[in-house]
Every structure is written in C-alpha cells, then in structure tokens.
A and B are shown apart, each in its own frame.
Chain A
C-alpha cells in the first residue's frame, strides 16, 4: 500500500483542470463550492417551478402525486443542503482566512475533502432521480413514512446516505473553520476585532458540530431500521415516531441558524462599508449572534406543537421561541442604526442588504406568530408555514448571499459585476419574491395544506395560486439575469482593483484576485475595521512607512520581503488524497444499497487514502529537512 502511495505521489501542477481536483487552496475550494452550489440552486429552482406549474390551477395533472412528493422533498433538501449551506461555505472558504489575516485554513487537505464529500453527497441525492425514484418523505423525512413498510423503494436510502455523506462534509468543514478562526488570527486580531462575518462563521461552525451529530444518529437509526431490520421507528415493536421528530428538530432548528447566521454576517459587512460608518454596536451584534446560537438549541419543539406534548411543553417552547426573536430584533435595529446618518453608497450590494432587512423581518414576524402554540394549531402544515420559511430562507439567506456576491465578486474574480444588471436583478427579485410568497400567507390562512399535489376549484384557492406561480416565473427570470451577469462580468466586467468599495477588512488589502499565498507579510491589526483606520490615519497624517506591517494597499497591499523569515514562499502542496477518501466514502454508500462487496472496496479505498494522508507531509519539503 505504501508503494502505491509512493508511486502516485504527488500532484505538482497548479494549472489546468486537474489542478482544481487536487487543489488545497482555500480560495479555489471556495470557488468550487460556489459554482457547484449555483448549479444545485438552479436544479432546486427547476423543481420548484414544476411544482408551481402543477399548482397554478386546480385539478391539474402535469405531474403525478408520486412525482410531486419527490419534487417537494428534493426541492427542500437541495435548497437547504446543496444550495444555501454550500453558498455559505463558499464564502467561509474564500473570505475567512483573508479576513483574519491567515495564509490558508488550518487543515487545507481536510478542506478539500469537505468539498469533495459535499459534491459526492449531492450526487448521491440527485442521481436518485435516475435510480428508481427520488426520496419522497419531505426534507424532514418523518418516521414512519420512511420505514420500509411504507417506503419500500430506494428513494429514502439515497436520502439517508446522501445526508450522511453531506454531514461528514459539513462536520469536517466546521472543525476546520473553528481551528482556523481560533488559532490562525493575525497578530493583533483579537476576537473582538474580528469582522462580524468571521464571528458568524465561528458561531455557525460551533452550531454545526453540536447539531450534526444528532441528525447523524437519527439517520443511523433510520438506516439500521431499513438495512438491518431494527425497531427504532417501528410502532408495532414499541418504536416511537416522535423520537425521530425530536432528534430531527434538535438538529433542524439549529440548522435554520446555520443557514441564516452567515447571511447575517454578510449584512454586517456590507452595511457599514456602503454606509461609510462602522457597524453600530459591534459587541451587541456579536453577542446577539452567539445568543442565537445557544438559544437555537432550546426551541425545537415549536415544530411539534400539534403532536400532543401537552400544555407545559408547548408553553415552554413557545416562550423560548419568542425569546429568540429578541437577539434577532436587536441585530435588525443595529443594522438600521448603522445606516442611520451614514453616507449611503447605493450600490447593488446595499440594495440587497436593505431588501434582506425588510423581507427577513417579515419572515421573522410570521415566525413569532408560529411561536404562539395556540395560533400555530391553525397554521401547522398550511401554506402559511411555506410563506414563512421562504421569507426566511429566500428573503433572508439568499438575498444576503446576493448582497455578498455583489460585494465580494470583485475580490474573487478581479472584476465588478455589472451594476445595471445588478439593479435589474434586485428589483425583479424583490418584486417577484413578494408576488410569489406573500399570497401563500392568504392561502395558508384559507386552509390550503402544504404538500398537496392539487386542489378542488371549489376551495377558492385558484387566484392566489396563479399569482404565486406567476411570481415564481418572475423569480426564475431574475435568477437568470444574475447568472447572465456572473458569466458576462467574469469576462468583460470592469476591472476592480484591490479595494473597489473602500473596504474595512483585510481581504481588501490584497490584490483581486488574491495571490495563492494571500499575504506577502502577515498583517498586524491594531483595531476593529483595521484597514479603514489605516487608510484614515494616513489621510490625516501621512507618516512615511506609517503602519507597522499591515499595508493600506495602494501599491498592491503588501510589502515584499519585509520580514526576512518569510523570504521564500512555500505553500501547502496539492494532494489527490482528499478526492480519493471522498470517492471511497461515496462508493461505500452505493455499496450499502447495491452490494456489500462494493461497500468493502469503497471502505478500503477510504482507509488507504486516510493512511496515505496521514503519512503525506502537508507540503513537499523542498528546502527543509522535515
């Protein structure tokens, strides 16, 4: 085995498509995450469009009920795990090391592995369409709809295995970012000087490492029920389907914050920059984020008000859920106060950030309505909840991610996104979003249940369903405008320079796109919004040589050879082993469904890959004797 590892060692190329497979550069991995997530976003959107066509008018038969079940399951699973989470991960990867003044993440190969495992999980989930049918029990996969007795095909198997592989990817990535942020901050970058986006990455990563093991156990139990015939969720043997709901939502509610806290971090970066004012109440914003992270673990049963836990449990979870609105509200006031009196630079990024505040707030308010258990009895499983979740995840997460895209695209590619197309994208999105999802409040209060594939004309739901479908097509157009903007700006966009927005954080001190090693010398940080301080101080009193080591960037943002210790640049070498390990895990997953021999082969590949990984130095020691 060692000889095989020796023989295959070691990719050396930094260009060409193979170099993307073996890359361990956090910036390239971020780009891979982003590009893959956009493809899955389009797929999930397509699934939504098909559902909206089916529901546009009563009694339609565009798709069968069976296919409709698969569509809503895959739409939810895709958007949550394969679109929004990896879009967040794309920004974590690209930005966090730059923001904290580090050369890479703590474990570059583990980072590459996270991406490949994520891709593998996405493929397992989506290939299910071609391998006998996609999963069909909803993104929450309630027991015992998922039991073999009621769901004999392979759809649920793909769902379980896909989510397990995605869970491994998320955990690996969360471990990596926690260590990176705790341990790799530049000199002077204390925790309370960190950009809020880095803070929210840290909080989100902690939520992930505590929430994902719970869903892992739930999925293991379901997997054992399906593959080994155990009784976890088999009522005839005493198994309790409610156990699934508890385990799922102990993960599932924190998952909402995994989706929403990084966008809150984006907003906390965009607003100060485009208001030309520091973030209002930075410590409060940070502590609110931490508070949300903690409280997020104590509210899960608000998804279960109608299952009969009793008045005490319902009251407790109603109160905790209302309480979590407080730190969220605090953040919203801080964002508004940041803009208050600022000199607003109304670029597309700011428009999306303001749009985020409004639509996310509407989603938050309907969330507080759900938190009242008695009111929730009326809303449970209706389109009112569908409206709520889309205001939170589309009006919240995605709008913030769009803001982030307009803000950081120039850093990532070196070119600005087209401003006119951006404005068109913004206005189309904000109108279409409300046309699509606002009527769902009416439908829900009118009693239209979620997840039905059609309805009778006598129900009186025709009008608002048609309106929602028209809105969905407008949304599709707006997303296409965005993709068009991405593709054309990539080639023809205006050159950005290092610092197109007069940025505050360290990523704007380096060239766009940043060099492979990020910083030629390690920046020294003396304050929050350090780059602003640096530029500002220079403007007032230009001192020759001014700053110690963090450089304001006009001359390229760095001072080559400043530190003699760093006279040679030496980066972590590319490695194929992360892909090999991920491939082994994916093969093992397919083996569990088709043939145990394949699972054994996959497992052996993964173990061999891990062995090689352990023995392989992080970088090829060209000039050291290590």
Chain B
C-alpha cells in the first residue's frame, strides 16, 4: 500500500507538497542523473570516433540490418510496456502479466542480439583492448545492455510479485509506472546510441 510520512506519522494516503508520490519524484530525478551518465559515455565515444590507430573500424564491422531488427524489437517493447500499465491501471491483472511478460521477452531478445553481436565482434578481432573503437563501443553499449538487464529483472520480478496477494494491484499501479519510466528511458537512450554509433558511425568512421 501507499505509505507516506508526515510529521513522523504513517498515514495511508500520500500527502506531499506537490501531490506526487515520493517514488515518482525520485525516479524522475534519477533519470535526470542518468542522462549525465550516458551523456558522458556518449561524449567519450564521439571524442574518440575515428581516432583508432588500428582496426577493425566501425565501417568494417557494424551490421546495420541486424541491429535495426534488434532496435525495432526494443522499441516495440515500449509499446508493450504502455499496454501493461494500461491493463493494471484498469485492474486487469492477467492482461498486465501478458503485456509485461512480452515487454521482458522483447528486452531479453534485444540482449540476445547484443550477446550475439559482441561474440561476433570478438571473433572478428575486436575486443575492448583492440583499439579506441573497441574500448568505447563495448563500454557504451555494454552499460546500456546492463541497464536493459536490470530492467528485464525488474519486469520479471513485478510479474512474479503479481502472484502474491496485494503486491501489484490497480491501487499501486505506480510500481508498474516506475518500471515503465525506467524502461522507456533506456529505450530512448538506445535510439541515441543507435543513431550516433551505428547510423552515423558507419558513414564517418
């Protein structure tokens, strides 16, 4: 249940100065901070773009068609997330489970593509140690993948919790909304990475 603290007293309904739940404000502030985190990683990538001393270079190794597929899957998962939140908001727990599982599954598919891609690159002779491209590429996309992984675990935990009475209900759909905010953020970051590293990256590097 929603709990909040006012004057040291637990009261059953939120009484905040803004009317927003603490956790929601926390999530927005956290995502603001994450912007600077990914911003710094992306800046590092851009600063070093085209400055590798030895190959493989992005042009030789990045596979736009394959990554376009995984990008499509990840972006579609955001739609599933929206449907999951809509379902729980109207009290449809079963629909919620279906859509949230679909979201997690698509996230996992994206991660599968990433594992495949990393593996393929290593076989092609590109590791984080090979050159600046490898160093920055694996760090940036690796941190994004780690965020997706956390998201998938979070979503699956919510599905699991929904089987325990009173944990995920219409009244506390905020739990789902918070996971959704995080999930959409991670997707948006991927749009930036895909554009800069893949679409623009292959034309320049």
Contact = CB atoms under 8 A, between A and B. Distances in A.
Interface string A250-276: 100000000000000000000000000
A39 interface: no
B8 A185 contact: no
A243 B8 contact: no
A67 interface: no
Interface string A82-110: 00000000000000000001111011100
Contacts of A130: none
B131 A238 contact: yes
A182 B26 CA distance: 10
B10 interface: yes
Contacts of A237: 52-53, 131-132, 135
A413 interface: no
A238 B8 contact: no
A224 B22 contact: no
A213 interface: yes
Contacts of B26: 106-107, 175, 179
Interface residues of A, number: 60
B29 A175 contact: yes
Contact of B8 (A218, A239, A569): A569
A221 B39 CA distance: 14
Given A182-B17, A518-B8, A519-B8, A217 B32 contact: no
Interface string A603-617: 000000000000001
B72 interface: no
Interface string A187-231: 001000000000000000000011111101110110010001111
Interface string B2-16: 010111111110001
A429 B159 CA distance: 61
Nearest to B132: A238
B129 interface: yes
A234 to B, nearest CB: 9
Interface stretch (B40-48, B94-102, B103-111): B40-48
Interface stretch (A6-14, A485-493, A618-626): A618-626
Given A238-B52, A238-B131, A209 B11 contact: no
A214 B16 contact: no
Contact of A231 (B10, B16, B34, B132): B132
A127 interface: no
Contact of A104 (B5, B30, B33, B135): B5
A66 B16 CA distance: 54
Interface in B145-195: none
Contacts of A221: 44, 139
A570 interface: yes
B129 A210 contact: no
Contacts of A154: none
B25 interface: yes
A210 B12 CA distance: 33
A243 B33 contact: no
Given A230-B134, A250-B40, A516-B8, 11 more contacts: A103-B6, A103-B7, A103-B8, A103-B9, A184-B5, A209-B29, A213-B39, A217-B37, A231-B132, A238-B48, A618-B10
Interface of A: 101-104, 106-108, 171, 175, 178-179, 182-185, 189, 209-214, 216-218, 220-221, 224, 228-232, 236-240, 243, 247, 250, 516-522, 565-566, 568-572, 617-619, 624, 626
10 contacts: A107-B22, A107-B26, A184-B5, A184-B6, A185-B17, A214-B36, A238-B48, A250-B40, A570-B8, A618-B5
- The list of the 7 closest CB pairs from A to B, nearest first, reads A517-B8, A103-B8, A217-B40, A213-B37, A213-B36, A209-B33, A183-B16
